[in-house]
């Protein structure tokens, strides 16, 4: 199902963009469920990202920190899709990013940080599970690199974890509530590179559609929400998103 962009871009000035791991693969960060995804190549890796396991077992925490010590995201740069969305915001459109990603590439591309809602948290911050203190991830990774395999909070001695949402944890209720409000008032919800298999984030599609927004999905594989979409685009994200952003920017400039 592919329509001309003009058919659904007409009159759109309020855009919500929900992004998943697929938008960052062109930056060298593997997705999770694709042919070369993290879970596809190593199904057991999910155990390391499960909150009860992480909290109960120092060996799991050691494996977790080693995974992030040299994670591809630390060297990654925003790609054409990230940059196109930032440029769309600069063109004058009202753009809000609802991202399932933890890599921070939207902000690095130039999207206004307060307009980026990180539904699953961020890998760029470490949080203490005891006192709640937040610190830059680099400080903790430096300790890991020096041989401290299970670093604890320097303030209270409790377990440290990345500021991301693990399996077995709930999404931040405030962030999720904001995302639902954004989806409900948008004219267009553009979903990019998400399998839409992870709830409750995926349900934002239904929130937007029920409120009358146009839903457009850009993803390589079918999703559970394709039937609600006015358009489903299978072409590569690095091609599709700049083309869509350019079309929406022209609509805004023309006041259509």
Cβ contact 185:91 at 8 Å = no
Task: Identify the active-site residue in 120, 149, 170, 227.
Answer: 120
Tell me the β-bridge partners of 160. 128
Longest dimension (CA), the chain: 59
Q: Give the dihedral sign, CA 239/92/109/133.
A: negative
Cα–Cα distance list, 66 to 42, 62, 250 (Å)? 15, 6, 46
Neighbours of 12 (CB within 10 A): 21
Q: Please tell me whether 128 is known to bind a ligand.
A: yes
- Angstrom distance (rounded) from CA 31 to CA 46: 13
Of 204, 210, 174, 180, nearest in space to 192 by CA: 204
- Edge-first strand listing for the sheet containing 160-164: 134-136, 121-128, 160-164
106 among known catalytic residues: no
Q: Which tokens hold the place of 223?
A: 């999703």
CA distances from 166 to 33, 50, 132 (A): 16, 6, 16
Closest C-alpha among 106, 95, 96 to residue 24: 106
For residue 153, say whether it is annotated as part of any ligand binding site: yes
Residue list for the binding site:
128, 131, 153, 156
Binding residues for Zn(2+): 128, 131, 153, 156
Which positions are annotated as active-site residues? Answer: 120
């Amino acid at each position: 199902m592919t329509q001309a962009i003009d058919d659904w871009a007409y009159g759109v000035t309020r855009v919500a963009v929900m992004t998943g791991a697929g938008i960052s693969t062109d930056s060298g960060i593997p997705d999770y469920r694709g042919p070369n995804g993290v879970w596809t190549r190593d199904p057991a890796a999910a155990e390391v990202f499960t909150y009860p396991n992480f909290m109960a077992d120092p060996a799991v925490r050691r494996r977790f920190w080693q995974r992030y010590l040299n994670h591809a995201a630390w060297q990654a740069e925003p790609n054409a899709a990230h940059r196109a969305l930032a440029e769309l915001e600069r063109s004058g459109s009202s753009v809000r990013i609802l991202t399932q990603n933890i890599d921070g590439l939207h902000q690095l591309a130039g999207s206004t940080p307060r307009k980026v809602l990180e539904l699953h948290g961020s890998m760029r911050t470490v949080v203490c599970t005891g006192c709640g203190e937040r610190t830059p991830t680099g400080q903790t990774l430096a300790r890991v690199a020096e041989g401290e395999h299970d670093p604890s909070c320097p303030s209270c001695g409790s377990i440290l974890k990345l500021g991301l949402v693990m399996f077995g944890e709930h999404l931040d209720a405030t962030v999720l509530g904001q995302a639902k409000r954004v989806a409900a008032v948008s004219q267009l919800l553009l979903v990019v590179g998400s399998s839409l298999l992870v709830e409750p984030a995926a349900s934002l599609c239904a929130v937007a559609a029920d409120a009358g927004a146009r839903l457009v999905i850009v993803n390589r594989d079918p999703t559970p929400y394709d039937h609600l979409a006015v358009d489903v685009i299978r072409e590569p994200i690095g091609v599709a998103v700049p083309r869509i952003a350019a079309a929406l920017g022209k609509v805004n400039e023309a006041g259509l």
